Amino acid sequence: MMSEAVDVASVYAAIEKSAGLLDVTASRDKVWPVLSAFEDALEQAVIAFRVATNARHEGEFDARFTLPKDSDPYAVALSKGLIEPTDHPVGSLLSDLRALCPIDSYGVDFGVIAGFKKIWAYFPGGEHETLARLGALPSMPPSLTGNVDFFTRYGLAEKVDVIGIDYRSRTMNVYFAAPANCFEKETVLAMHRDIGLPNPSEQMFNFCEKSFGLYTTLNWDSPQIERISYGVKTQNPMAFFARLGTKVEHFVKSVPYGVDDPKMVYAAVTSSGEEYYKLQSYYRWRSVSRLNTAYISVRDKEDA
């Protein structure tokens, strides 16, 4: 956990150093404008760095931070030129959510190469949203309600905790406070088969048994659920893997931030059968943030 003052320069320096562990060169022209746009919130934000192991994310390094509920991250991103105005429904989704639901806080995500990517809207702890309410929004991907039978079958339809909006890829993540049986091998296998995804490996089944939550990825152009991702909280990410690749292993073992704080690891299988992981370490951890407590308390209570 960082104790010194946090500002644009210090966070940028940490991002640059951490990306360098993966031989990724941060673009100042992409990173600095994002940090500057939300500079006033950095001092109180949870700040995390993330790397993914799949081919699509190779050569990229992501950072994210939280924002208070009285902010409007989409309006700021537009006004600062971080994203372009669009007539696509993705551009209206956050404002529709704000009109429908109480929001506890927000998060933003950006890549050191790609720049601004995503906004998260966190619902108040314990106040889950339902697919029935969310699916009525005109900007919501039709695939959300189109798969309501799937979500209902696995006890997820009334357990939505977080919505993530990816403006670059025009996809949406729906995070669930899932019941414990969703992490058992038989259910994980059934869920993947139900939506036409390849079977996970034994390594991933073992990973899912320790998960604290899951999310699905949807888009506006397909009726299908793109993937299911599972999350684990751990002090030792390397305990889950035989090998991650030289660069990622080097990052996990060498990143100087969040050494004593929990790490997050997410696992998913793509439609092509590629199994990959996202590893998240904290530049600044705050246990009270919705970024960290959206699901963790649920599984911690079960383990008590």
pLDDT at 272 over 80: yes
For residue 246, pLDDT over 90 is answered with no
Q: Indicate the domain borders of the chain.
A: 8-303
Q: What is the mean pLDDT of residues 90-98?
A: 98
If you average pLDDT over residues 101-121, what whole number do you get? 96
Per-residue pLDDT tens digits for 51-78: 988 766 677 999 999 999 999 999 999 9
Residue 67: strand pairing partners: 106
**The pLDDT of residue 243 is above 90:** no
| Distance between CA atoms of residues 147 and 64, nearest Å | 29
pLDDT(217) > 80: yes
Least confident of 44-48, 104-108, 297-301: 297-301
Q: Tens digit of pLDDT for each residue in 18-33? A: 999 999 999 999 999 9
pLDDT tens for 286-299 read 766 665 555 455 44
Q: What is the pLDDT of residue 185?
A: 96
**166 is written with which tokens?**
């990816």
**Widest pairwise Cα distance in the chain:** 49
Share of the chain above pLDDT 70, in %: 90
Note the pLDDT of residue 125.
82
Question: What pLDDT does 304 receive?
Answer: 40
So what's the pLDDT on residue 292?
57
Q: How far apart are CA 81 and CA 91, in angstroms?
A: 14
Question: What would the pLDDT profile of 117-160 be if each residue is shown by its tens digit?
Answer: 999 999 998 889 999 999 999 999 999 999 999 999 999 999 99
Average pLDDT, the chain: 89
Pairwise CA distance, residues 97 & 74, whole Å:
12
The pTM score is 0.91
